[in-house]
A and B are shown apart, each in its own frame.
Chain A
Amino acid sequence: MYQTNQLADATINKSESAVDVQPDLNQYLMAVASHQDKAAFAKLFAFFAPKIKAFGLKQFRQEALAMDLVQETMSLVWRKAQLYSPEKGKASTWVFTIMRNYSFDMLRKIQHNKEDNLSDDLWPLYEEAEPEPDYEDDHLMREQLIQGLEALPPKQKEVVEAIYLKEMTHQELAEHLGVPLGTIKSRLRLGLEKLKEKMELHND
């Protein structure tokens, strides 16, 4: 479990070197998810609230409506944080989609006086897992890749999936799994080699 004072220290170091803040945001969101960490939420709020307000002003051209958007988006982030998982993407992408959805429903209400709240059906947010897409028969390569991936040892499979399919960075994944960066890199290398062997076997 994350200690918020450690997170705060990490922030100071990061802001000095001006590196990507995204991994921090992910951690704050996960701290909110795991133990309703108010300090972590305050960090998220400080980061996102002004951005959401700016987005809302552009969208609605009214201060009060822009503040509604901040209020509703951040409330949803607080209440639904448990539904976030870093495998599905970055915290900022998650917050952006929540804001975009709520904003869409607000616009429907303002412009067409409709309260049909379509957004959650248009852009599914809270799903457990993506439904399996219908692959076409001619995607043989894809089938082989999926089979190859399934055949990997679980730890290698986990790393290959996270890096290539979920597009996490090595650093994010190392933090998420709580293992050193080097371990991620070696699992990835081993996994990819095995996958390559398997594909070549099939194509010869």
Chain B
Amino acid sequence: MIKHHPESTMIHAFVAGELPASLSIAVSAHLELCPHCKAIADKATKAMADEFSGNEALVELAEPTPAQPVDEFATMLAAITEQPTDAPALKSAAVESSNQMALGEKTYTLPRALRQFSQTKWSGLGNIQRARLGLDEGDVHASLLQIDADSAIPHHTHKGYELTLLLDGCFEDESGRYEKGDFIILNGEHHHSPYTAEGCLCYTVSNAPLHFTSGVSKLLNPIGRFLY
């Protein structure tokens, strides 16, 4: 059962289209897995649409009089209705698109928000495979991470924030156990060492590299950028 959800302010920002793409993907994918948050988002969409459309009476477009130049809106309206409408067949074509992703021996079904990244290039380090999504959002990096069964990521903290959306499998850390759909945001105050028994696939967004804090794993800091 999903225990970790995005805050409602984040869901509202997502609905308003105000979140960056990297975080929008995470919220969208979470909503696909979580009926509870989906309901919050649907309600927010309705409320925003109501605010957008107001509640005023319909008005007619002003008829252009010969003395006046034709209104810009009127020209646009005329041009739009000259266009052919789409054939109804597009309805099913729009949903046809693969969201299957094969990786090693496993095939995952990606959330819709991630399906255009199913062909992203992967690179590996030890037990971890990473595919960076080329979203071009400056310091904010978004990646898919696949972690092999019976693997741990050494004790670390986060210089910025790190969002993890668990897409498949499960993992645990000092604060508990996480399952498919969990939406976890950590920042510099959190230290943890996640471990996965069965392996997992995550979507992560962070704005700074991980910082490893114990023993020999500190050696990972120079290469920590791999995980960011």
Contact = CB atoms under 8 A, between A and B. Distances in A.
Q: Which of B1, B57, B95, B114 has the most CB of A within 10 A?
A: B57
Given A78-B80, A93-B45, A118-B24, A48 B35 contact: no
Interface in A72-127: 74-75, 78-83, 89-90, 92-93, 95-97, 99-101, 103-104, 107-108, 112-114, 116, 118-124, 126-127
A201 interface: no
A45 B25 contact: no
Interface residues of B, number: 51
A76 B171 CA distance: 43
Q: Which of B32, B76, B137 has the most CB of A within 10 A?
A: B76
Interface stretch (B84-92, B160-168, B219-227): B84-92
A97 B45 contact: yes
A114 B136 contact: yes
Given A93-B45, A121-B116, A122-B113, A46 B91 contact: no
Nearest to A108: B21
Interface stretch (A13-21, A146-154, A156-164, A184-192): A13-21
A204 interface: no
B85 A118 contact: no
A197 interface: no
B192 interface: no
B175 interface: no
Contacts of B80: 41, 45, 71, 74-75, 78
Interface of B: 1, 15-17, 21, 24-25, 28, 32-33, 35, 38, 45-46, 48-50, 52-61, 72-73, 76-77, 80-81, 83-86, 88, 90-92, 94-95, 112-116, 135-137
